[in-house]
Amino acid sequence: LAAAAGLDVDLHVKIEVDQVSGSHKSRHLFGVALHLLVDEELGAAAADRLAIASCGNAALAAGLIARALDRPLLVFVPVWADPVVVERLGELGAHIEVCERRDGEVGDPCVHRFREAVVAGARAFSVQGTDTPSTFDGGRTIGWELAEQVPDLDAVYVQVGGGALATATSLGLGDVRLHPVQAEGCAPLRRAWDRLAPDFDWGRAEAHPEDFMWPWDTEPTSAASGILDDVTYDWIPLLARTHRTGGEPIVAVESTIVRAHEFATTTTDVPVSVTGTAGLAGMIASPPAKGSHVAVLFTGIERE
């Protein structure tokens, strides 16, 4: 795979397509479920309705785990949601709400409706740390496993939508250099990084996040549809990890996004999606030093 992509590196691929529901999202949400059950055992009010905003893998993971918990789940999906995903969510007993953008509304309408449901009493059951902080805990298992499997790792390249995957993986890996990757059709994280540089005043970022992160200015587009969050929700902890480890965010042009997927599916037998190989696209766009020990995550299965 490295040779096909023109990379003279020691490349390791962490494969997540065989996880429960076909992606890494189940790791995050199983961790959230454990927190929920422990909290209830310790006296917290029972969560009688769970809610998530998602267009695909996160929703499926939430649907499976909510079914295992025997809890009702509200899923807020975009108008272009994959019919296969929507059908499966229905089979799992989820209540599905298709969200159209309202006149004058800025940002993801699914996230807006999800947050309205949480205000109305539903329990956030999402893969964004901003809404569900415990989502990082399950995700850190990827970093812990990778640290054991490749103890001399120099860098990891991770595709970014909302930001929880890259943040959690880096927390598990420690000081391994982190490169978050977005597509040119939706790259709010790099925009925030450039506005923070060179001072990287994290206090100001937390006090005035609107100066650095806002919804992408145009309609997000890419074949890697799973990373088209128009806001990188967990951008502050993600950029803090990136800066601390000596990495930087990478933006891959669309042709590289597509080529990375072609390389992955023609040189391996992993049934991975375009979204799932976007980290590799970032490595191709900004290659590491010759001989580096580097890793990417193949995160989501290609659905028929």
DSSP 186: B
- 182 Cβ contact partners less than 8 Å away, ≥ 6 residues apart: 159, 160, 188, 189, 190, 227, 232, 249, 250, 251, 252, 278
Q: How far apart are CA 32 and CA 88, in angstroms?
A: 22
- Reduced to 3 states (helix: H, G, I; strand: E, B; else coil), residue 297 is strand
pLDDT digits (tens, 9 = 90+) for 128-175: 999 999 999 999 999 999 999 999 999 999 999 999 999 999 999 999
Q: How far apart are CA 17 and CA 192, in angstroms?
A: 30
pLDDT digits (tens, 9 = 90+) for 43-71: 999 999 999 998 788 999 999 999 999 99
Q: What percent of the chain has pLDDT over 70?
A: 100
260-297 burial code (b ≥16 CB/10 A, e <16): bbebbbeeeebbbbbbbbbbbbbbbbbebeeebbbbbb
Taking phi over 0 as left and psi of -120 to 50 as alpha, with beta for the rest, 163 belongs to left
Q: How far apart are CA 28 and CA 20, in angstroms?
A: 11
C-beta of residue 189 within 8 angstroms of C-beta of residue 239: yes
Tell me the pTM.
0.93
Provide the pLDDT for residue 304: 63
How many Cα neighbours within 13 Å face the side chain of 182? 26
